[in-house]
Chain A
Amino acid sequence: GNSVTQMEGPVTLSEEAFLTINCTYTATGYPSLFWYVQYPGEGLQLLLKATKADDKGSNKGFEATYRKETTSFHLEKGSVQVSDSAVYFCALRPGAGSYQLTFGKGTKLSVIP
């Protein structure tokens, strides 16, 4: 079956620190990969996506590269801000025409000044 495993949180960083949130997946075929972010009191928002191997998704200073050889899609940001404090979810959609999104359990990030 399809599954997503992401690092356990919570993660606490100081402002301007480097962020990595690990995500690995198991899927048949050629999945699309996503990172969603949930800010306090809000719904999930798409942060970035990648649809094929070696694609790099990027948005708001965050990046993630689709690594088929390691089945990974790690989220990185070079310098986090307090406003990045949120819960981050890695997700996959199995393949073309598939409708279901499978999510990881989420990683809570707290950035302190």
Chain B
Amino acid sequence: GAGVSQSPSNKVTEKGKDVELRCDPISGHTALYWYRQSLGQGLEFLIYFQGNSAPDKSGLPSDRFSAERTGGSVSTLTIQRTQQEDSAVYLCASTLDALPLHFGNGTRLTVT
């Protein structure tokens, strides 16, 4: 079956522009996570969804970052007024209950 799908795979944007990153989780997975992977920093938790609600947004770095999930499926991570320090690989993962996470291949964001 299909795994977690993220798009685009690569995104280059100019500083100050807004970007949207999309995640299609595995069908039926109720939990969805966004992580950020920066060089030398490991994986940084951003936000967690259970269904369409986000009980934990504590990892979002600033109010320029937001995320939503609709229909208990697709999620979009939006970064407004991008800065160079936002450059990273953004990873999405999904799971059912407390089973291990299934990750997508990520979106590599480069802010110039």
Contact = CB atoms under 8 A, between A and B. Distances in A.
B68 interface: no
Contacts, number: 48
B104 A101 contact: no
Interface residues of A, number: 22
Contact of A100 (B3, B40, B48): B48
Interface in A84-104: 89, 93, 96-104
B42 A106 contact: yes
Interface in B61-112: 91, 93, 98, 100-106
Residues of A contacting B: mostly: loop
A46 B50 contact: no
A105 interface: yes
Interface stretch (A12-20, A37-45, A61-69, A73-81): A37-45
User: Interface centre among A96, A99, A104, by most B CB within 10 Å?
Assistant: A99
Contacts of A98: 98
B43 A103 contact: yes
Interface of A: 34, 36, 41-46, 49, 89, 93, 96-106
Given A101-B45, A104-B42, 5 more contacts: A43-B106, A44-B91, A97-B98, A99-B50, A106-B42
21 contacts: A34-B100, A41-B105, A42-B105, A43-B3, A43-B105, A44-B93, A45-B103, A49-B100, A89-B42, A96-B98, A98-B98, A99-B31, A99-B48, A99-B50, A100-B48, A100-B56, A101-B45, A103-B42, A103-B43, A104-B42, A106-B43
